[in-house]
Structure 1
Amino acid sequence: MTDTTTGSPLGPLTPDTADLDAYLAADAVIDHRHPEIAALAARLRGADAEATARAAFAYVRDEIDHSADVDVWSAAYRASDVLARGNGICHAKSHLLAALLRANGIPAGLCYQKLEVLHGLNAVYWPETGQWVRLDARGNRNGADGRFATAPAEERTAWADDPARGDHHYTTVYAAPPADLLAGLARAREGVAGFDYLPAEL
C-alpha cells in the first residue's frame, strides 16, 4: 500500500537513530575507510550527490555479481571483502553500496524485505527533501528489476511483494546490520550455495 505521507509504494521509512552521522560512520562491516573502497568511491564521484549515488548504485548492481546468479558463493559480507571477491548475496552488496555512498559523504543505511528469506537493500537520505529512499542493488538478473530513485514515489526494488506469501518491506533504516542477521552472515561458508544461514525475518 502506498504511504500517503511520502508517496512510497513500499511504505514509510524511519531511521533507527536520529543521529545522521551514524549513517556516515565506518565500522567492521561498512568499512569505507579501506583503501580500495576509498579509491573506488573517488572514481565513482560525480558532479553532485545524485550523480555520485547513481554511479555507485549502478556499479554495485551491475558490476558485482549476486552469488546466486553466477553460482559463485564467496560468503563475503564485509564491504571491502565483497569488492575484492566481486560477488556476494544481497546483504553483501548492500554493505558495499552503503560503504561507497558513505565514503562520498552521502548518508546511507540498510533496510530489509521479507521474502522467503530476509532480503537486504539500502536506503539513502536526501537532505534536499529530508526523505529516505530505498535503493536495491541486488542485480537485475533472473527476474530482478531494481531501479535508482531519488524520491519515495519512485522506489522500485528488485522483487515485488507478494502479499499472499506474507512478503513486505520493513520500515526501519538501520545504521548497521542487525545482530541476528550479522550472526547468520558470519555462518556462511565459501563455496556453499544457499541461504539457510539467513533469518527468515527480523
Structure 2
Amino acid sequence: MLFKYMKLMPESEDLQDYLKESKVVNYSHPLIKEVAKKLFNNEQTDIEKVKVAFQFVRDEVSHSWDIQGTRVTCTADDVLKHKEGICYAKSNLLAAFLRGEGVPTGFCYQRLMIFDTPDKGYSLHTLNGVFLNSLNRWVRIDARGNKLGVQAEFSLDEEKLAFSVQEDFDEKDYPTIYTQPNDKTIATLQANTNAIVMYKHHLPEYL
C-alpha cells in the first residue's frame, strides 16, 4: 500500500522525549485521568487509542473561533474542563491523553493564512504527530475540529488534515515533530485574556 504522507522528521530519536509530562501537557491531573479511564482500556491497540483520543478532542472540545468563545485555555486540564480552546490548546489536551497512555506524541506546525486572503495575515497552526509502535512509524493528526470546509479524519492511508497548505500563497508545512509545544504559542495563550481578539491580532506567524 502506498502511504501518502509528508516525510516527517522527529526532533528527537528518543521516544521517551515524546512521553514526558509538563505544565501544559499535565496528564497526571485528576480530571485528565478521570476522562482517560472512560476513553481507554487495556484491550485497545495503540491505533485504537489514538483514534478514540483524536475523535474526542476533535468533536467534544470546541474550537474557540467556531463558537466565538472569548475564554482562553492553555493547559490540558483547563481545555478539558471548559471543553474549548484554539488549536494550540487542543493539541496540548490530545498530547496529554496519549502520553498518559504511553503513546509517543509530539507537536507539528503549519504556517497558514488566518482567514482567506494573504492581506489578512498569517499564523502558526498546531497539530500533533503520534508514533504508532504497531506500525513503526509516525503519523500526523489534526484535532482542530471540523466545520463547513474543514474535515480532518484519523487515517492511516493518507493524511486527512484540517487544512491543505497552499504554497502559492506562501503557506508552509513544517516536517519536524517537536517534543514540546512551541514557546511562542504557549506564551500567546498565557498573555491573552480574550480568545477572539487573540485569534484576530496576536497569533505568532513563524516558529
Give the Cα separation in 1 of the matches to 2:190 and 2:18: 22
Contact 1:56 1:101 in 2 (8 A): yes
Deviation at 1:192, TM superposition (A): 4.2
CA 1:80–1:145 in structure 2 vs 1: closer, same or farther (change >3 Å)? same
- Once the two structures are superposed, residues 107-153 of structure 1 have per-residue CA deviations (whole angstroms, 9 ceiling, x without a partner) of 1111011102110100110113321100000000132111102x3x4
Using the TM superposition, give the Cα deviation of residue 8 of structure 1 relative to its aligned residue in structure 2, in angstroms. 3.6
- Measure, in 1, the Cα distance between the counterparts of 2:91 and 2:148: 18
Q: Does 1:197 align with 2:192?
A: no
The share of aligned pairs that are identical, in percent, is 37
TM-score (norm 1): 0.90
Specify every segment of 5 or more residues in structure 2 that has no aligned partner in the other structure, as ranges. 114-122
Match of 2:79 among 78, 82, 96: 82
2:160 corresponding residue in structure 1: 156
Give the number of aligned pairs: 194
1:16 correspondence with 2:11: yes
Residues 140-185 of structure 1, C-alpha deviation per residue, up to 9 Å, x if partnerless? 0132111102x3x421110111122112211111111122222222
Amino acid at match of 1:130: N
* Per-residue Cα deviation, 1:23-53 (whole angstroms, up to 9, x for no partner): 1111001001101111111211142211111
Q: Which residue of 2 aligns with 1:120?
A: 126
Kindly report which structure 2 residues correspond to 1:6-45, keeping only aligned pairs within 5 A, or say none: 7-9=3-5, 11-45=6-40
Cα distance in structure 1, aligned partners of 2:189 and 2:33:
24
Does residue 146 (structure 1) correspond to residue 162 (structure 2)? The answer is no
Find the residue that maps to 2:38 and give its secondary structure: helix
Q: Distance in 1 between matches of 2:25 and 2:72?
A: 16
CA root-mean-square deviation: 1.6
